[in-house]
Chains A and B, each alone.
Chain A
């Protein structure tokens, strides 16, 4: 097959193969993905992925915006867990500026990030259920994603594209309603997750559809630079939270679940276990918050932290700092920095080069979906079409992160 042309040129009338255009808008792909497949009956002979349908040139736009205006761009990468992207970006800038955050802010961030990890994994795992024919699981667990979004709404006012936090901390402290909602979630979610697992874990149909399908070895996963739950399902215990702890993750006691065969069932189990571990982390963070001094929600760095609006109108220093930050006039070292966080899909990296200008000289996102997805077409060869569909669901490819 000629890879230079995404559409097959095999017009041999004797050919038994069927060319199928799966996507770019296909209900089974949950996003804008095009794969041109060549089928022998129901079996895929070869495939070519075409991506870039929602490319929005974020890296170029980022070169024209001051740091704080880049946060909304990161929202739109993996929009299923925007807070992780936001925090990752804030932490990159904080690393550049050598800002050290108070522990309480770190713990608040950990709560928000772990909640979004749960939201991300809920989407992926329920959709595997949906695609294997179990609509119940999807409808049942998906309401808890709604509850997580309600918590985000309480913290920052937005639900999906959150733009949560600021460089240096949060825009405001968590209010009592937010804490009450987190506590309610911690109480109710384990019950639902248990029921969700009871519906699928030992479900004969589910196991038949997923176990042994799309197996990937450790070596192959590392060769293709896989990260996140996909890599861990193959048995490699790489988690950025553990290998390069950020935001005080070293203070928490949690486990990194790994699978053995890297098949769809293992990926599902790894994600489920990660949700349990996230719950553990949130519980520990809530416990730790009790011993921290109340009311601290940002680092004391007025030259980098966007001041509250009331102060801007009533206080000269705040007005000056506000102006400087908004116009990108802050004193940032001329340096380059790479910072990675463990996103919902794997290592989300920010490579930032600052040349002392008002905007980054260059900002590159290492997007896990983009790098994970390149194995999809090669690994689909020889697979049944219906297996390829759930393989894609289990890779949790988010179009926004894929195309940036």
Chain B
């Protein structure tokens, strides 16, 4: 219950500051989640860091939704260590032009997290000091976590969902 009021408070402050840029609010398992856009993401992150005391960047990653119009979601997890609140921010960007401003200007630790996201999803973080592949080899040529790249032999039939009523 305490968590819910805290989340509401944070959300009110965010909507007051960013208005319509804060959408898609939900609270799965008590974790405040909202969607914003890439033109304000750095402002949102700095506002959360400096004014709402979300001092800790837990993680940056991405998710690919091939059927959506803006098919790549960049997901930020932040943590307010003092009040023990976590928050999740999502930004949907287009697959054809996957660019987003870098968060390394807010946290230096975002560097490798963004490199990993670039490596696996091809997201170009604008203004990143050193954006190159990190875990895969440099000449891999693809960004392997995108859904169009199958893990296994696509001719295998024993794992196809349609045989399981889906």
Give the interface of A toward B (CB within 8 A).
3-4, 51-52, 55, 57, 59-61, 63-64, 95-96, 222-226, 236, 238, 243-244, 327, 329, 335-338, 340, 347, 349, 351, 353, 357-358, 361-362, 364, 366, 370-371, 373-374, 403-404
Contact = CB atoms under 8 A, between A and B. Distances in A.
A225 B109 contact: yes
B145 A370 contact: no
30 contacts: A3-B130, A4-B130, A51-B134, A52-B135, A57-B151, A60-B151, A64-B159, A224-B107, A225-B107, A225-B109, A238-B56, A244-B86, A327-B164, A335-B29, A337-B28, A337-B29, A338-B77, A340-B58, A347-B58, A351-B61, A357-B161, A358-B161, A358-B164, A358-B166, A364-B59, A364-B61, A366-B77, A371-B112, A371-B113, A374-B109
B86 A338 contact: yes
B15 to A, nearest CB: 22
B109 A223 contact: yes
B58 A95 contact: no
A335 B28 contact: yes
B164 to A, nearest CB: 7
Interface string B56-85: 111101011000000000010100010010
Interface of B: 28-29, 31, 33, 55-59, 61, 63-64, 75, 77, 81, 84, 86, 88, 107-113, 116, 120, 129-130, 132-137, 144-145, 151-152, 159, 161, 164, 166
B58 A60 contact: no
A338 B28 CA distance: 9
A243 B81 contact: yes
B86 to A, nearest CB: 7
- A52, A358, A361 interface centre (most CB from chain B within 10 Å): A52
B144 A351 contact: no
